[in-house]
Structure 1
Amino acid sequence: MSEGPSIVVVGLDGLEPSLVRRWSADLPTLRNLRTSGSFGRIRSADPPLSVPAWPWIYTGKQGGKHGCFSFTKREFDDYSWEPVNYSDVNAESLWEVLDAAGVACGIANVPLTYPPSDLDHGYVVAGWPSPNRAAVSNPPEVIETVEHETGERYRVNPFSVGPELMQAGDEEVLADVTEGLWHHERAFETLVRETDVEVFFCVFMATDVAGHYLGRNPDLLRKLYVEQDRALAELLAACPDDVDTIVMSDHGHAAASDWNFHINEWLRENGYLSVTDASGFDTRSLLRRVGFTRERLVAAKRALGAEDVRGRLPQPVLDLLQRVVPPADERSEGFDSARVDWSETVAYSPDQNVVYLNGAGTHPSGTVDEARAGELRADLVAGLETVTHPAPDRDDPLMTEIRRKEEVFRGPFVDGAPDVIPIADDMQVGIQTSFNDGELFARDEWSEHRPFGTLITAGESFARTDDVAERSVLDVFPLVLALADVAVPENFDGELPSDRLAGNFDVTCRRTHDEHGTRREYSEAESEDVREQLRGLGYLE
């Protein structure tokens, strides 16, 4: 049994600040933290997605300084996009800075931390996304302790995301996500009680999963928030009474979406992107044509019962089916680079809420010289600003914010940054990358992120105040290091939120050590595992 951490950072992925206020009477743990400390909004990354947001949080730097801009990265010598992992984040993380200073820390389930870091003073249990059956704990005995104490196998992703959850009723979704939430709570509480660290940093994913799947059912989403509040109470009860507590989210949530905007169709229509007729003859397309789809596979699984299916088919066969069998809707396959005539393409969108120029110096068949790049970015912004909302009763501009590369990113990796970051109707219209038979819009029933998350601070080091400024996710990094009395790498981008602190905390800086370690590339099977996880939450189509 340990004495417990002196600093606890609890991420509640996607926790929406307006709902924390609205449901305050039902959320006593969050309410007590708010009234004993401070509460305010925190601006997410650009774009406001879990990746890049979590790397911004745990490095204190925007993507131009570490090179991670989304859940995927373009392969150097072609136009294929592969999932990223922690080795693609080229900057010191919070736990690496603490470890170098001799401060023991425990990191659990923070997104994009696989493969887990090797620390001298503490441990990392990697978060989502991680390949199935991967070794997620470093050192491995940390997870062995969790599994011994809880009596259950630890799962990074304990939710049935994807076609299975999409076909479930809302009550089934709530039950599934609630079960996963408490699975994580038991693991985190065990880590707090059984490991000796000064800083503990964990992330619950249930609020994000529920935000996507239950965002259109506020009664059930409120029930999940109530469960999350109870789980937070259990976790904090395992900590010392005088612990400094930071509760935060990487973005907001529950922006109910009725429409999708197919941005590559807009780029094609406006002459920025050229498409060939190469589609429909791959294995997945042929399987879709004969009706062998994921949805039918899930229906068969439900009819037989999950355990019956697992008993009849070995796990490698199930994994193969998951990788090969396509969804019924071709649009959910996402951006198809094979259909693009790159020699005639100026701009394209391979991932959510980003547009890239086909740069001559950065792409194998680039068509845009650096001298033209600024002008083209301006043209793209001007063109997107003319798009109107598709709803019959609205004629206002669709884009509520469009940011350009030069406004957001700076640093050694800026060449790999997106050129334009469009936000449609405050994220209430999804920006999709798939082609849509020439149609710019399609109806949708999904719930998306909001650009502002939640930041709550409480404890002996924090002031009790309602007068706090709006903050950035970049500010959490220097805040934790100031609380731990550890020098901050000099090239960080955030600011210390002094208005939330009870005493005088100065930021001291030291030389940065952003050495670029060995890349850990995914195998083909691992890459598809991660893709499936990302598709399940709408990050990949």
Structure 2
Amino acid sequence: MRTLLVGLDAACLPVLEPLFETDAVPNLEAIFDEGVSGPLRSQVPPWTASAWPSLYTGKNPGKHGVFDFLSFDGYDWDVVNNSDIKARTIWDYLDENGLTSVIVNAPVTDPPREISGAIIPGYLAPNEPKCQPEGILEDIRESVGEYRVYAERETDDRVDEEAKFEEYVRLTHLRGETFRYLTDRFDPDFGFVQFQKTDAVFHDFPGEMDKVRAVYEAVDEEIGAILEQFDPEVVVVASDHGMGEYDGYEVRVNEILKQEDLVETTTDGRGVPSWFQLKDEELVGGENDSSSDSKSLERLAALAAKGGLTYQRGKAILDKLGLAEFVGKHVPIGAVFAASESVSFETSKAYLRSGSELGVRLNVEGREPNGVVPEGEYESVRDEVIEILTALTDPEGRPVFDEVVPRTAYIDGPFAEEAVDVLCIPREFENSLSVHVGDVFSTPEPWNHKLDGVIAVAGKGVDSDANISEAHLFDVAPTVLSTFSVAPDTAMDGETLSAVNPVDPKSYPEFEISERSKTEDEEVAQRLEDLGYLE
């Protein structure tokens, strides 16, 4: 193997350095010590589904087409998949240059495009992903073990917290074992293995640093086995973003825009985001009862909502009376949906459609199916949104956002129009955004994404004295290609890091975009809910 890329989701120096100090991850530490390393600035937004494609294409989301976990078509959505990525990946460039690759667990790679080598999709794929070549998943299960993309869900009664965590560790080892099996079988020039549980452990077990250490120890053991067995000439370790504690607030942007007459809400059920309807009864409360009593209660709840008693207001009253938990366990889920006040996308001027998009979309005539903002008023409405959110302060009087800017500040390219119109960068990434209406400020998830990830490059021909302190997520793809003396694409937003001998970029033929395929697996959306990415 000439170059190995190890992907560590959410890895960053504040997480890794305590592990280095206690010798918990000697193989990773050796790569960092022997090569060159530093923080890796992520993109905006720094979330898995968009950031990994940016890392392995070298392009910002406006050039590859994935901005979030969701792909929108008007007001409808689907979970993103590989057909949404409209740009060449590292392994596409290598394949076109006669080089082979083995890719294991890379996010947003289902269904995979055909290359010389093997691809086992990762995050956002179904648990039974389409793999390349066809039939390889069955071979893996016969030779390595029962391969799964995901652990058992937290809401599954059969799995307690400790058993779930044990499966996290088991799946981490399975990634490495699968990668070694495929590398031994295909003898690739390039290898890419990604470990996702280094991120999920913070979401599912916030603050439990013993579990973080255990996941990283499993990762390190697998890295050591890969290095010993295949001895790659160059090793690149990179993450899509960082991870840290959130000390601010969950900010309900749609409530703010509602108060400014930019968001319209509805209680007729049609404005409820579809992902909210997918909530499990265990996450929301009562049983999913289809009985006549349940239907009657739904109709009653809907009438109450039209009279002003929405789910949000009702819950506040029940909280004060100490009855919220009891009602939550006994009120059917359909009644909750029926009484939920939510954004009406069709009649609003502007709205937050997904918290992890980090921005506001305008409902523009001629662009959205039922646009209400005339094209000639686009800039004035956009600037109004920017002014409102720039001035927003939290209960302590601190600015909520470091920046509120047009998307052009961070996103450009042929697919940029699919992005939000206004990007909202939380103050030091201490605040998170929510699509809900109700109280403007709430408690955020305790651990979430930060802007600085990490990168390390070591091996043959690597200048360990190079300064890569300004490394960016977009630089990873051109750097990997340069280790093969393959020219990076002039359309890439990144450059070859100075630690590696650069190859002059060149222009490539236009990428052939395939027809979009639908993500058929509802379970993928449910797993996003489990991790708090869908509300």
Shorter chain as denominator, the TM-score bin is 0.7 to 0.9
Q: 1:382: how far off?
A: 2.4
SS state of the match for residue 41, structure 1? strand
C-alpha contact (below 8 Å) 1:39/1:455 kept by paired residues: yes
SS state of the match for residue 457, structure 1? strand
Q: 1:161: how far off?
A: 4.1
Other-structure match for 1:230: 221
* d(CA) in 2 for partners of 1:401, 1:535: 27
* d(CA) in 1 for partners of 2:19, 2:458: 19
Q: 1:9-158 to 2 correspondence within 5 Å?
A: 9-25=5-21, 26-76=24-74, 79-119=75-115, 121-134=116-129, 136-150=130-144, 152-157=145-150
Percent same amino acid among aligned pairs? Answer: 26
C-alpha contact (below 8 Å) 1:40/1:468 kept by paired residues: yes
Other-structure match for 2:453: 453
Q: 1:339-378 to 2 correspondence within 5 Å?
A: 339-340=343-344, 342-352=346-356, 353-378=358-383
SS state of the match for residue 253, structure 1? strand
Q: 1:134-533 to 2 correspondence within 5 Å?
A: 134=129, 136-150=130-144, 152-157=145-150, 159-164=151-156, 169=161, 171-172=162-163, 174-240=165-231, 242-256=232-246, 259-279=249-269, 292-293=281-282, 339-340=343-344, 342-352=346-356, 353-390=358-395, 394-435=396-437, 438-465=438-465, 467-498=467-498, 500-501=499-500, 504-523=501-520, 526=521, 528-533=522-527
Q: Structure 2: any 5+ residue segments left out of the alignment? A: 288-328
- TM, length-normalised to structure 1: 0.82
SS state of the match for residue 356, structure 1? strand
Count matched residues: 487
Q: 1:327: how far off?
A: 12
SS state of the match for residue 23, structure 1? helix
SS state of the match for residue 423, structure 1? strand
C-alpha contact (below 8 Å) 1:14/1:251 kept by paired residues: yes
C-alpha contact (below 8 Å) 1:216/1:254 kept by paired residues: no
In structure 2, the CA distance between the partners of 1:471 and 1:402, relative to structure 1 (3 Å rule), is farther
* d(CA) in 1 for partners of 2:157, 2:426: 26
C-alpha contact (below 8 Å) 2:354/2:434 kept by paired residues: no
In structure 2, the CA distance between the partners of 1:285 and 1:99, relative to structure 1 (3 Å rule), is closer
Q: Structure 1: any 5+ residue segments left out of the alignment? A: 299-324
* d(CA) in 1 for partners of 2:462, 2:341: 50
* d(CA) in 1 for partners of 2:271, 2:362: 28
In structure 2, the CA distance between the partners of 1:255 and 1:161, relative to structure 1 (3 Å rule), is farther
* d(CA) in 2 for partners of 1:176, 1:433: 32
Give the letter for the 2:349 counterpart.
Answer: T
C-alpha contact (below 8 Å) 1:60/1:476 kept by paired residues: yes
- RMSD, aligned α-carbons: 3.3
Give the letter for the 1:411 counterpart.
Answer: G
Give the letter for the 2:387 counterpart.
Answer: A
More off after superposition, 253-262 vs 356-365: 253-262
Q: 1:104: how far off?
A: 0.8
Q: 1:168: how far off?
A: 5.0
- TM, length-normalised to structure 2: 0.83
C-alpha contact (below 8 Å) 1:192/1:238 kept by paired residues: no
* d(CA) in 2 for partners of 1:383, 1:371: 20
Q: 1:207: how far off?
A: 0.1
SS state of the match for residue 230, structure 2? coil
Give the letter for the 1:48 counterpart.
Answer: P
C-alpha contact (below 8 Å) 2:267/2:342 kept by paired residues: no
C-alpha contact (below 8 Å) 2:246/2:444 kept by paired residues: no
Could you report, residue by residue, the CA deviation over 1:61-98 in whole angstroms, capped at 9, with x for unpaired residues? Answer: 1121222211112224xx12221111111111221111
C-alpha contact (below 8 Å) 1:295/1:327 kept by paired residues: no
Q: 1:106: how far off?
A: 1.1
Q: Tell me which stretches of 4 or more aligned residues in structure 1 moved more than 4 Å.
A: 164-169, 284-289, 294-298, 325-330, 336-339
C-alpha contact (below 8 Å) 1:489/1:512 kept by paired residues: no
Give the letter for the 2:392 counterpart.
Answer: V
* d(CA) in 2 for partners of 1:477, 1:131: 26
